[in-house]
Structure 1
């Protein structure tokens, strides 16, 4: 311990920042005189009340006292994990402390398994957090405010299972975050938001997810205007819609997992993508969704005419070119995933890496009809192929054979059989694939 105590303060504070909670940090004051006041300058404080055996009153008093005694002029991270009923008064005091210490990162997590409802956050959060750069909220309720919401320094915002006053509040919140670069929204079933509008010119990374518990709602959707976006992550199984008002020419990474009747409007706006992960609905589901959306949009006048017209178009943009795409993952859980795969391959001349796998537990049947022409990327650029959850069915073997026969630049093919397959079945798969003819003499097949 004496040797550690001889380290400079900067290094000791970094070590203290790695301790699990602020209580562990404060407990180090008993080690020696050298450590008695050191905890008061640690740049990261984490208060954890998520354990069921902690007395909340005692926890609240500990938080209050430690924040009063804190001496550093600035605090990098203030993190709360709250598992029991937390009064709005406590949160108001602690959020005021965040402003007092010019906190850069504020994290408030409410353990949803230990309380009947989310925590209600005070209005002071919007008015006394001017220095925040990062704000992360989990399982909370935001209240409406009469004045406009403003986070002038905020660059990262993460909203998970948050309930809002309504559509307009969320629109106002996001539109007043003029420096925002990274946004994550995980919607819960009863968040009071039907159409989420994201109109932020500074945004570079956007992730929008809907809860698996959210019921199908074809009036639910997203309106996006983020022309400088570089990373786009969208997962929505409600059968709703996503309208992108402007092209996003800077997109590098995109993950699209939707059951929309119109995914083509998304794909046509991200043609500059370099890494693409796709899971789209089958043709049969698409046809049914078209009929349901047409009927429902007649009843919802708040959805623009342009949206109603777009739903009548094809699911995949015709003759769309992905000139920068080098890595592609196609989900195999839908019935006609091969049709989608071949269309994307045809439009992606520079593709080098292909991965096949499932986003969901279900597995789609493979209907294979070998195309009359070989996509340029398959014969001239494709270097790696990885197939997850390979089942060894005849159609799958034909697809694997196709890539081996025409992939003249293939260097490595990795096959990962489905985890439920028996060892004997796996051996049969390995034997069958090992003896398939290969166009590239350098191609190696590995089995995991």
Structure 2
């Protein structure tokens, strides 16, 4: 019977992929044959939940030549040596990873020249004030920055994002006091759920987006975007907080085809506690209502006066509408749904092709 050490590197790597992380690294101590085999493993996951630091693990990882996927959880990164270089790393996940400083974050990410996917899940710590993500190759970015309950914004803490190759961006952040986002390329899909940052400045960076999902603080009346959202075809708004953005986005989105209203339960919206004005219909009909908007979906419809006004306005002026779908709120009693449905069905429609559906 052959000794396992006689197996080819490819076969040994397949075995290591099925082995717990701590055992994978331990194989380097078996013999000279095994010393560097673990570095051929393309995917590593490290969870430091039960240890004080991950410094020893990270120090060795810095010389990994073929690593493609790396997931770190509750690791401590205090320093990044000048020789560090993850030339093959494409996917990186950082779950509550503690960096010693702003410079350490920047240095760590600069070691990943072809990084395509980055997930950052953490709560803000004093050590890092500006979490800068400057990765030219990055295509998909997810940031989740929440902790149990709602707290005040951490002044002087936040993210700076410079990733001109992004095609997908998702941010759920309840803690950062500011954001800086370099203008996104065309056809990007953005899901933005923010509580404290400058919503106006952020939206100004998304004018080339093709799909946008928003859960934001009510807008300031003085905000006027410098550019149109002339690539936007799909828009999703949190009905609890973002109706104030509706008129502005309709007016500046001439190619919009799909519009959805919903409650963003995954972000536990509290933006609606901010003072907001009553929705008022636009003084002139937006171009998208006359020429492009085909589908409107309302998820969690409660039939409030404001919701009825918005729904009626869209039906009355949506000359191109083909479908209006309404899903009543789970809190709506069965006996209330029939009169609510009849009320919607009686609303005048600009488009003879518009089909109503209720779920």
TM-score w.r.t. structure 2 length? 0.84
State the alpha-carbon separation in 2 of the partners of residues 209 and 98 from structure 1: 37
Match of 1:273 among 178, 189, 209: 209
Q: Is the 8 A contact 1:388 1:415 kept in 2?
A: yes
Match of 1:252 among 188, 192, 207: 188
Partner-residue secondary structure (3-state), 1:132: coil
- Residue 249 of structure 2 is aligned to residue 344 of structure 1: yes
Q: Is the 8 A contact 1:195 1:220 kept in 2?
A: yes
State the alpha-carbon separation in 1 of the partners of residues 278 and 112 from structure 2: 48
Partner-residue secondary structure (3-state), 1:159: strand
Q: Is the 8 A contact 2:78 2:104 kept in 1?
A: no
Matches within 5 A, 1:53-68: none
Match of 2:103 among 161, 168, 179: 168
Q: Is the 8 A contact 1:379 1:409 kept in 2?
A: yes
- CA distance change for structure 1 residues 332 and 439 in 2, over 3 Å: closer, same or farther? same
- CA distance change for structure 1 residues 80 and 343 in 2, over 3 Å: closer, same or farther? farther
State the alpha-carbon separation in 2 of the partners of residues 384 and 430 from structure 1: 18
Partner-residue secondary structure (3-state), 2:154: coil
Q: Is the 8 A contact 2:146 2:172 kept in 1?
A: no
- Which structure 2 residue ranges, 5 or more long, are not aligned? none
Q: Residues 255-295 of structure 1: CA distance to partner in whole angstroms, max 9, x if unpaired?
A: 11112452222222221110011111125xx79xxxxxxxx
Partner-residue secondary structure (3-state), 1:150: coil
Query: CA offset at residue 445 of structure 1?
Result: 1.4
Matches within 5 A, 1:248-327: 248-283=184-219, 316-327=223-234
State the alpha-carbon separation in 2 of the partners of residues 398 and 269 from structure 1: 30
State the alpha-carbon separation in 2 of the partners of residues 81 and 388 from structure 1: 43
State the alpha-carbon separation in 2 of the partners of residues 427 and 366 from structure 1: 30
State the alpha-carbon separation in 2 of the partners of residues 371 and 118 from structure 1: 57
Paired residues, what number? Answer: 344
- Residue 37 of structure 2 is aligned to residue 100 of structure 1: yes
Query: CA offset at residue 137 of structure 1?
Result: 1.9
The residue aligned with 1:447 is 358
Q: Is the 8 A contact 2:138 2:163 kept in 1?
A: yes
State the alpha-carbon separation in 2 of the partners of residues 171 and 408 from structure 1: 50
State the alpha-carbon separation in 2 of the partners of residues 93 and 378 from structure 1: 63
CA RMSD of aligned residues (A): 3.2
Query: CA offset at residue 72 of structure 1?
Result: 5.2
Query: CA offset at residue 383 of structure 1?
Result: 0.7
Match of 1:218 among 155, 180, 194: 155
Partner-residue secondary structure (3-state), 1:241: strand
Q: Residues 63-110 of structure 1: CA distance to partner in whole angstroms, max 9, x if unpaired?
A: xxx9x797552636837778xxx7xxx674268879515112222346
Q: Is the 8 A contact 2:76 2:97 kept in 1?
A: yes
Match of 2:293 among 382, 407, 424: 382
- Residue 48 of structure 2 is aligned to residue 141 of structure 1: no
Match of 1:409 among 293, 298, 320: 320
- CA distance change for structure 1 residues 126 and 386 in 2, over 3 Å: closer, same or farther? same
State the alpha-carbon separation in 1 of the partners of residues 211 and 28 from structure 2: 39
Match of 2:349 among 427, 438, 444: 438
Partner-residue secondary structure (3-state), 2:138: coil
Q: Which protein, 1 or 2, shows the higher relative CO under an 8 Å CA cutoff with sep ≥ 6?
A: 2
Q: Is the 8 A contact 1:412 1:445 kept in 2?
A: yes
Partner-residue secondary structure (3-state), 2:17: strand
- CA distance change for structure 1 residues 161 and 118 in 2, over 3 Å: closer, same or farther? farther
Q: Which has the higher helix share?
A: 1
